[in-house]
Amino acid sequence: MKKLTVIIPCFNEEEALPIYYREMSKVMEEMPEVDTELLFIDDGSTDRTLGVMKDLHILDARCKYLSFSRNFGKEAAIYAGLKNAAGDYVAVMDVDLQDPPDMLPKMYKILEEEGYDSVATKRSTRTGEPRIRSFLSRSFYKFINKISKTEIVNGARDYRLMKRNMVDAVLNMSEYNRFSKGIFEWVGFRTKWLEFENVERSAGKTKWSLKKLFFYSMEGITGFSVAPLSLASIMGVLFCFLSFITIGFIVMRTLIWGDPVSGWPSLVCILFFVGGIQLLCTGIVGQYLSKTYLETKHRPIYILKESSEGELEK
């Protein structure tokens, strides 16, 4: 019998956990040919999330959990789950049921019968999502696909099912600054995409504010494209070229009409504009430098406080 590990990152999800377990139990009953385990990752929750995980573990031995010493983020939770997953097949899904569990049997069947290494999902609609969030999300996918060689599918979810060979390839990319959507695409392997309509959360509130989504998008851009660095260089060359033209114009104007003292407001505006461009370029370089700095420190991606298995693996 083949084994399937389902990784479920959780942060303050005490309300959603029981609902998820009930729905997932129905799915596991539909897959008697597979030995399924649920691996919950407590990402430093401050509510009773860990307590509910422990209750589920006592109720059903198939439910296991890992608990972080603090909040390390969803990317760290996904990596911890992949590293501790024992299954021949490994799935990643959210606990709020926005990733429909009833798709899992179909995904497993595709891997078994059609020769794919992974089955990934994407949303076909964004019904119920704020318009500004939908607009910014679509804009991000368009932008990153233009500047990166790694194509990221618009509307892609973290919800996917992978064979062990793909999981091992992802684990070989043990970088500190992680962007899983890009990593899954970068490692390659044959992937089939399934679409589903957007589903509302089963309980609780989303933990992804616009601020967090912005910084997450920056992780993706800096992690899978060096185009911003090239942009900074191009802007530097462009402004040098414009400065030479301006110097030539000023010299010619002085020789022909003299040099009356005028135009200082426009000069101040130009200085502020050029200074802003310089700071922008410095900031872009700083972003990449900060990522390099964090990578060289070799800090662990996560730290476990406790787990259902007792043995802590970092």
Who has greater pLDDT, 18 or 298? 18
Alpha-carbon span 75 to 9, nearest angstrom: 9
Question: Are 169 and 287 found together in one domain?
Answer: no
Whether residue 219 lies inside any domain: the answer is no
Task: Give residue-wise pLDDT tens across range 87-118.
Answer: 889 999 988 888 888 889 999 989 888 888 88
Question: Are 125 and 265 found together in one domain?
Answer: no
pTM of the model as a whole: 0.72
Question: Are 79 and 42 found together in one domain?
Answer: yes
- Residue range 257-263: mean pLDDT, rounded: 61
Question: Are 231 and 103 found together in one domain?
Answer: no
Residue 115: CA count within 13 A, CB half-sphere:
0
Confidence of residue 39 (pLDDT cuts 50, 70, 90): very high
Alpha-carbon span 47 to 231, nearest angstrom: 44
Q: What is the pLDDT of residue 92?
A: 92
Whether residue 68 lies inside any domain: the answer is yes
Question: Are 186 and 258 found together in one domain?
Answer: no
- Residue range 240-247: mean pLDDT, rounded: 70
Question: Are 191 and 235 found together in one domain?
Answer: no
What angle (nearest 5°) sits at the alpha carbon of residue 114, between those of residues 112 and 115? 80
Question: Are 265 and 181 found together in one domain?
Answer: no
- Residue range 54-67: mean pLDDT, rounded: 90
Question: Are 126 and 273 found together in one domain?
Answer: no
Confidence of residue 40 (pLDDT cuts 50, 70, 90): very high
- Residue range 271-281: mean pLDDT, rounded: 72
Confidence of residue 313 (pLDDT cuts 50, 70, 90): very low
Question: Are 182 and 274 found together in one domain?
Answer: no
Question: Are 191 and 231 found together in one domain?
Answer: no
The domain in which residue 280 lies consists of 227-297
Whether residue 221 lies inside any domain: the answer is no
Whether residue 173 lies inside any domain: the answer is yes
Number of domain units in the chain: 2
> Taking all residues of the chain, what is their mean pLDDT, rounded to a whole number?
80
Q: Where is 194: in which H helix or E strand? A: strand 191-196
Q: What is the pLDDT of residue 66?
A: 92
Who has greater pLDDT, 238 or 303? 303
Q: Domain with 88 in it: what CATH number?
A: 3.90.550.10
Q: Long-range contacts: 20-28, Cβ < 8 Å, 24+?
A: 20/95, 20/96, 20/97, 20/101, 20/202, 21/56, 21/60, 21/63, 23/97, 23/101, 23/102, 24/101, 25/60, 26/101, 26/102, 27/101, 27/102, 27/104, 27/105, 28/62
Question: Are 31 and 176 found together in one domain?
Answer: yes
Question: Are 201 and 237 found together in one domain?
Answer: no
Whether residue 217 lies inside any domain: the answer is no
Alpha-carbon span 120 to 111, nearest angstrom: 11
Residue of 308, 303, 312, 313 whose CA lies nearest to 69: 303
Task: Give residue-wise pLDDT tens across range 202-227.
Answer: 665 666 666 676 666 777 666 666 66
Task: Give residue-wise pLDDT tens across range 140-198.
Answer: 777 777 777 777 777 778 888 999 989 999 888 877 778 888 888 888 888 888 888 77
Whether residue 36 lies inside any domain: the answer is yes
Q: What is the pLDDT of residue 6?
A: 93
Fill in the DSSP letter of residue 177: S
